[in-house]
Amino acid sequence: MKRFFAVLLCSFILTSYTFSQKPADLKGDLIIFHAGSLSVPMKEIKAGFNKIYPNVNVLIESAGSVECARKITDLKKPCDIMAASDYGVIDKMLVPAYADFNIRFASNELCIIYSDKSKLKDKLNAKNWYDILMKTEVAFGRADPNADPCGYRTVMCFQLSETYYKKPGLAKQMQEKDLNYIRPKEVDLIALLESNNIDYVFNYRSVAVQHKLNYLLLPDQVNLKSPKFNEDYKKAVVDIKGKEPGKTDQIKGEAMIYGITMLKNAPNREAAVAFLEFLLSKDKGMAILEKDGQPSVVPMEEKNYSLVPDRLKPFVKKP
């Protein structure tokens, strides 16, 4: 009899909790730090989320993924959710001290973006792009490797291209050119392109799609798109600034996979879980990402599966 009443009480508590989680009950600020390449879809996802949860004030802030993580680890800024263009940033900088899990949710690829006024654009192709970009009359931009995964992925692309195209010294030559056009995050470069200060930008295909810009696709052997080439990608290695002065962190090449997490000390946990559930749902947030050029990889294995909130477990696999 005691066991019966215990089960009944537990059921009542769970039922009460479920019914208390009505959309109108969720409110307050929800703070999200995200990679710059997620700026366009994140605004759309925010709008869709607020149609269901109108009382949640979603505050989205974009920056390079590494910079986003440092806002949490170094500056101790309050944050509920962080989304990175490289899931490895979350694994290396946030788990396990600041976050319990890391859900991989989207992919991308590196490409070369250009405008209608870019010099020599009519001659540009996948076989000669490095010759075009190395010309003195041509200027190209890229993201800062120390602030943004797009930056170190671009350097990896240079290294992989040196091997793929059999051009000794190419990586060094490209890294030393146009140093004045390196910016903290990849979306900062679009303004330079649109103002005709530069001719080309190394950036994500999704950014080109979202901004309706011209772009050149690169071979899978150098664009960091396909897991099929992960063994080759790993041969590209970039050192970025470490947390401590004078220290560096080594990053190895890998197919592009985005990651997202909820912080352990998230100020608004209930709203954070609801937002993640919306973003990761195939017919909601993931449909927006797919439309914006960022294909879904949901569900993927998560090593900390047991620490993922129950409502989010459908979006991950057990290892």
- Tokens read off for 59: 């505050």
Given a contact cutoff of 8 angstroms between Cβ atoms, the answer to whether 241 and 24 are in contact is no
Instruction: Give the separation between CA 229 and CA 223, rounded to whole angstroms.
Output: 10
Compute φ and ψ for 260, nearest 5 degrees. Answer: -145, 145
In eight-state DSSP terms, residue 198 is -
Q: Which CATH superfamily is domain 110-252 in?
A: Periplasmic binding protein-like II (3.40.190.10)
The answer to whether domain 18-108+257-317 and domain 110-252 are alike in fold is yes
List the chain pLDDT tens, one digit each, 319 residues: 444 444 444 443 333 333 335 777 899 999 999 999 999 999 999 999 999 999 999 999 999 899 999 999 999 999 999 999 999 999 999 999 999 999 999 999 999 999 999 999 999 999 999 999 999 999 999 999 998 999 999 999 999 999 999 999 999 999 999 999 999 877 789 999 999 999 999 999 999 999 999 999 999 999 999 999 999 999 999 999 887 788 899 999 999 999 999 999 999 999 999 999 999 999 999 999 999 999 999 999 999 999 999 999 999 999 9
Ordered by start, the domain boundaries in the chain are: 18-108+257-317, 110-252
Contacts of 41 (CB under 8 A, 6+ apart): 206, 210, 285, 288, 289, 292, 294
Classify 18-108+257-317 by CATH class.
alpha beta
